[in-house]
Amino acid sequence: MNILVTGASRGIGKAIALSLEGNIYASGRNEELLKCYKNYIVADLYNKKELENLGQYIADNKIDVLINNAGEYIYSPVEKISPEELEHIIKVNLEAPLYLISKAVPNMKQNKWGRIINIGSISGVMGEANAAAYSASKAGLIGASKAIALELAEYGITANTINPGWVDTDMGNSSANDGCWTKEEITDCIPQKRFVSPNEIAGMVKYLISEEAKGVTGQSINLCAGLSVGF
């Protein structure tokens, strides 16, 4: 398998990339952090030229497992979101993954096999106060995954979304610090009273890639320590 993970320099993406077997390709913005991989490409998904280069990289390397993990988070009251912030987060979290999927699909169709895994967010399922732009971008990704799953099902290609809750990463912890509550207060609202480990998400990715999961497509899987159920 030729597997590409975006946002693989740290956090969830790194945990995923290091857990998988096959020909691993990684992308991210920090070249120094990507040097742990044999195959990597530096790409800022907001930069049109770099995004197009990554798309060509996917096509050239015949990627048959695409994991769209890279994303950005904005914490802001809705009335304070600038047009520039809105454009940025929609391009990075929604438009870029769809573009990369479009570059991977021709090879997958030819082989009549492929796996597309989008890393969404529980915020795209439930909504998150003061994160309307982020929630909207992730909700869009969930909807797109369902449509793509329908479109590609006959070719042996699956498309699914994993929606993490609060994750014990630099991004997750900094997001907690940006808000109105402490990490301890947030943890107290999570049914399992903990942040999810990046390795749990990596384990779900491994399953969705496997042959045992060939019937799982178009699904939105909440991996959130019970946060989506209520509190």
Residues catalogued as catalytic? 134
Which residues lie closer than 8 Å to 54 by C-beta, 6 or more apart?
A: 6, 27, 41, 43, 45, 100
How many angstroms separate the CA atoms of 197 and 135, rounded? Answer: 21
